[in-house]
Structure 1
Amino acid sequence: MTNNAAPPAETPARVEVFQLPTGTYETPAALAFQGGRFRDRRQFAATAVLVRHPKGDVLIDAGFGAHAEEHIRSLPAFRRSPHHLGATVSQQLDAAGHDRGRLLGVILTHSHWDHVSGLDSLDVPVLVTAEELRYAADSRGDRVFGRVVPGHDLRVYALDGPPHLGFPASHDLHGDGSVVIVPTPGHTTGSVAVLVTAGPGQRFAFVGDLAWQLDGIERGAQRPLVMRLLADSDPARVRRDLARVAALPPDVRIVPAHDARAYAGIPLLGA
């Protein structure tokens, strides 16, 4: 495995990271990770992240959108869960007085509905891999991506950069090591994680759905077998990339997309 020593990076002093929670949906822990209990109900977060950068800001995922109820109704019945909707990313950006002209786009960790719903009210480019576009086009049980992307500028990027922190390839968004995208193609065939360095002691790995809860990171608990078969394109690759994440330097904070606990301490936009 590639050396995990932190690469040299001249991270601009003004890089900032904010969380934008857009709601939650409820799932039994028994369906989230091996060893979980049915009576332990987990509130799965649908939270986007804003990274402010002198060269332009970027969102990681889009959370629930203005038409989230409609999006949920479009899913197969077994995928619908009790949920709570909050303010959309678009509403939170406006409430904070964010200059949309600074927003370079939304990096999608993958194309599942709870990561893309908010694109319905965000008129910004969408940064996505060619592999994930093919995955979304072939999806039968989740067609929300196809509903929300028409009219968006789809910017396809390649993971053709050098190995980074144990991952075999990378895409350095700003060229300074502050926002580096790495491949994690197991949950979906084009899934990615986004590694963000905002300054000393502020390093994050936003790993999307590589694990749904921190239990999958801290205890190495995989998804239950039935969920691996239903939710993952390649469970073996998920295990491989979970090992890579577990081997990240100890100062890198790992943030599974759906565990609200993982966002604790990341400031709210406009707070």
Structure 2
Amino acid sequence: MTSLPPPSPGQAYMHVSALQAGMLHLPTDFLVQGEKHGYKHCPSLAFFLRHSASDKHFIFDLGLRKDLESYPPAVRAHYLDTETAQMRTRCSVPQDVAESCLEGGVDPATVEKVVISHLHFDHVGEHTPFTSATFILGGDGAATLADGYPENPASYCLSASVPVERTLFLNRTEHLTTPIGPFPLAYDLFADGSAYIIDTPGHCPGHVTLLVRTSAAGNWLYLGGDIAHDTRLLTDADTDIALTTESGVACCVHRDPAQARVDIARARQLVKLPGVEFLIAHDWKWFEDNLENAFLPKQFVPRKL
């Protein structure tokens, strides 16, 4: 039976605070098979995490950048379409991650690590304020960057999405070698069992998720990025990712639907385990319910075991 490692004596864990990182409208029938066409006003959540023992800290995801015009032409044309104001995702960024950090009392220049779940436009944000950070990406993302814009004019990814000279690309021979719960490949970020970066490549090449302890007693929080775009996919085995829209048009938000289903099935197993809570990047309900109590400088409070 799948289980998670019990806490060690003096077990370190992570203090977790959400960060505002922009909003976007997502079409509902692109997310879950059989849904009526409509739109959900969703956050692109980012997180500030601080190690309980060492006070070391890092950020998971950078959300949207404020300057939408700085995205590659392919992104602007397909998702934003700012010239005709027909924004498919109707993005707005009242506050980006750097501004959210400053408002919460954290200087972006002091952030030590930034883990990017994947290289889609609503997760890479703007890296330039994080001048001291080592960036961490799933290794398969390296090829996406190498083929990015402007070198490839048709690419949806900016080749300068991260500072490559201080980026660690996690590979499956040196880094992603630790099994955790139902997932076979993970990286123990602090080598103490407090935070695991998990290989979940179904959404797109290089996609990773994060599992962190949130107490010394056995609480965990799974930050799922874009492993799923609706919480029901992680709680209801009868809910499936969309392969067609309501009108019957073939469409899937995951690059590899078969692998995405494997990743989601594993995540379902994980979130059923005692003490495990989860958040996905575009969880509109959690955002609405917790905007006043879980965003930096405030912290996510684990539920009682």
Structures share fold, TM-score greater than 0.5: yes
The question of 1:47 aligning with 2:74 is answered no
Output the amino acid matched with 1:169: L
User: How does the TM-score come out when normalised to structure 1?
Assistant: 0.87
Tell me the CA shift for residue 216 of structure 1.
2.0
Task: Spell out the pairing of 1:52-67 with structure 2 (5 A cutoff).
Answer: 52-53=50-51, 54-55=53-54, 56-67=56-67
Give the aligned residue type for 1:178.
S
RMSD: 2.5
CA deviations over 1:63-108 (Å, ceiling 9, x no partner):
1224234327651533222122121111121222215565221111
Aligned to 2:126, the other structure's residue is in SS state helix
Q: State the one-letter code of the partner of 1:89.
A: V
Which secondary structure state, in structure 2, belongs to the residue aligned with residue 211 of structure 1? coil
Within-5 A mapping of 1:1-271: 3-10=1-8, 11-12=11-12, 15-39=14-38, 41-53=39-51, 54-55=53-54, 56-71=56-71, 74-75=74-75, 77-80=77-80, 81-100=89-108, 103-123=111-131, 124-138=133-147, 140-144=154-158, 146-150=159-163, 153-158=166-171, 159-199=175-215, 200=217, 202-220=219-237, 221-226=239-244, 231-248=253-270, 249-263=273-287, 264-265=289-290, 267-271=294-298
Match of 2:301 in 1: none
Structure 1 distance, partners of 2:243, 2:130, is 36
Name the CA distance, whole Å, in 1 between partners of 2:156 and 2:286: 26
What SS is found at the alignment partner of 1:16?
strand
CA contact (8 A) 1:76 1:141 kept: no
Structure 1's unaligned 5+ residue stretches are: none
Which deviates further from its counterpart, 255-264 or 244-253? 255-264
Residue 129 of structure 1 deviates from its aligned partner by: 2.5
Give the conservation status (yes or no) of the 8 Å contact 2:241–2:252. no
Tell me, yes or no, if the aligned pair for 1:65 and 1:120 is still in contact at 8 Å.
Answer: no
- The offset of 1:187, in angstroms, is 0.9
Gap regions ≥5 residues in structure 2? 81-88, 149-153, 299-305
**TM-score scaled to structure 2, two decimals?**
0.78
Give percent identity, aligned residues only: 24
Q: How far apart are residue 226 of structure 1 and its match? A: 4.3
**For the residues of structure 2 that align with 1:180 and 1:122, how far apart are their CA atoms?**
22
